[in-house]
Amino acid sequence: MDRTKENLRALLKVIFEHLHANPEVSWKEYQTTEYIKGLLEDNPACTIRTFDDTTGLVVEVGSGKPVVAVRADMDALWQEVNGEFKANHSCGHDAHMTIVLGVLFHLLEDGVPDHGTFRFIFQPAEEKGDGALTLVEHGVVDDVDFLYGLHLRPIQELEYGQFSPAIRHGASWSVHGVITGEDAHGARPHLNANAIQIGSEFFQHLNNLYIDPMIPYSVKMTSFHAGGESTNIIPGNATFSVDLRAQTNEAMEELMEKVQRIGSMLSDYHDVKIDLTVASSVAAAVINEEASTLMEQAIVETVGKEHLVPMITTTGGDDFHFYTIKRPSLKATMLAVGCNLEPGLHHPDMTFNYDAIEPSVEILLNALRLTVQQYSS
């Protein structure tokens, strides 16, 4: 076995184990940023950019056109694991960072091509939905021609050894609601509007929302808080959350308009104030045919046509697609990685087959090289 390849495989295992054991939630990826920077700062071929006002970093090698970028998300989720709330990499971002670092290490080891700039974007706060927007504002993709991302996929979508050249994510919005009224004595229900009743009515109306049935969508209340320890008080105030999913951005706008109408109707009927604000929003996918074709070619050349699966559609969301929405000239796609991920993304006990990391590195590396070969100036 090639000693260099064996050493790199061992290094990536160490990196993954470190990242997995040291998860950090959105906008607090301080140590993760420093760890990745420390892996690369002594290499003169790397130009590293960090930010004064946000976590994350950008690493660049090579020069000239085209500028080809790869993005890895960095943040973990905050969730209950075995009875304890903690940061937890249950969405695979530790694997994403490991794979992208593997691509970079391979480039450095094999020699960066004479033409083309390779930019590696380690992005914070994907789980909050605004990490990509922040880096767009910092100009990290202003001169990028092609952008590639990746995501581990649950076994329900792809099995180990399968890869897809694009992920058709849906839009995902989180809406925060506040009901503002007055409390009343439990013996005098006619003196106020019960916030719990209003919330129940809101819930029922959400279940009666309909749009084009050919477009996958869902709307559901995911939290509701009202009342306190005194059981003889009818609460007039409450807070709640609504999760909206739609396969297209246009369908999402239609759903949100209907949710707002429900709020206005119940506000008028019960004579209370209902405020709805979008706490986070992730856009539906905008996939470029040129980029996905290059990724498909990389999959076939690397692991064989029998491991290729056409573009997959998922109701999950990813803020990766804000890069192309905000910079329409950008050509982008995401590699879908089959790795027998179970029981599912965001499950506190999520596991996957680590052996999927090495072929993922090779596919992405091949995609970068194919892109530079075809588009170098």
What CATH number did the domain enclosing 277 receive? 3.30.70.360
145 and 189 co-located in one domain: no
Kindly tell me if the per-residue pLDDT of 280 is higher than 90.
no
What percent of the chain lies above the pLDDT cut of 90? Answer: 93
- Do 266 and 289 lie in one domain? The reply is no
The reply to whether 82 and 101 lie within a common domain is yes
* pTM (two decimals): 0.88
47 and 159 assigned to the same domain: yes
Q: Give the pLDDT band (50/70/90) at residue 286.
A: confident
Do 185 and 232 lie in one domain? The reply is yes
Write out the residue range of the structural domain in which residue 222 sits. 172-281
Secondary structure (3-state) at 116:
strand
CA distance 19 to 16: 5
Residues 271 and 191 in one domain: yes
Chain mean pLDDT for the chain? 96
Distance in angstroms (rounded) separating the CA atoms of residues 357 and 13: 10
Q: 348 and 267: one domain?
A: no
How do residues 309-352 score in pLDDT, each as one tens digit?
Answer: 999 999 888 999 999 999 999 999 999 999 999 999 999 999 99
3 state DSSP class of 323:
helix
**Domain termination residue (choose one: 227, 261, 281):** 281
- State pLDDT tens for residues 247-277: 999 999 999 999 999 999 999 999 999 999 9
Q: Cα separation of 78 and 117, whole Å?
A: 36
> Considering 231, 265, 281, which residue would you say is the last residue of a domain?
281
| 214 contacts 269 by C-beta, under 8 angstroms | no
pLDDT of residue 2: 62
Region 144-163: mean pLDDT is: 98
Please choose, from the candidates 273, 279, 303, the residue with its C-alpha nearest in 3D space to the C-alpha of residue 365: 303
How many structural domains is the chain composed of? 2
Write the pLDDT tens digit of every residue in 30-80.
999 999 999 999 999 999 999 999 999 999 999 999 999 999 999 999 999
**Residue 287's pLDDT is what?**
87
Are 215 and 87 contained in the same domain?
no
Residue 114 scores a pLDDT above 90:
no
What secondary structure letter does DSSP report for 363?
H
Please compute, for residue 131, the number of CA atoms within 13 A of its CA located in the half-sphere on the CB side.
25
Inform me whether the pLDDT recorded for 377 exceeds 80: no
**pLDDT band, residue 1 (cuts 50/70/90):** very low
User: Do 196 and 139 fall within a single domain?
Assistant: no
Beta carbons within 8 Å of 198's beta carbon, 6+ residues apart: 179, 181, 238, 266, 270, 272, 274
Cβ-proximal residues to 363 (8 Å cutoff; 6+ apart), any chain: 163, 295, 298, 299, 302, 303, 335
Q: How many whole angstroms separate alpha carbon 288 and alpha carbon 51?
A: 29
Percent of the chain topping pLDDT 70: 99
β-sheet bridge partners, residue 78: 87
Compute the distance between CA of residue 308 and CA of residue 163 in angstroms, rounded to an integer.
5
Q: What CATH number is associated with residue 366? A: 3.40.630.10
Percent helix, strand and coil across the chain, each rounded to 5? 35, 30, 35
Residue 165 sits in the same domain as residue 219: no
State which of 227, 255, 281 marks the end of a domain: 281
Beta strands in 124-197 (DSSP E): 146-154, 163-164, 167-168, 171-180, 184-185
Do 274 and 354 fall into the same domain? no
Dihedral angle over CA of 35, 39, 45, 49, nearest 10: 0
User: Quick one: 365 and 354 in the same domain?
Assistant: yes
| pLDDT score for 5 | 82
Q: Is 306 buried (19+), middle (13-18) or exposed (0-12) by CB count in 10 A?
A: exposed
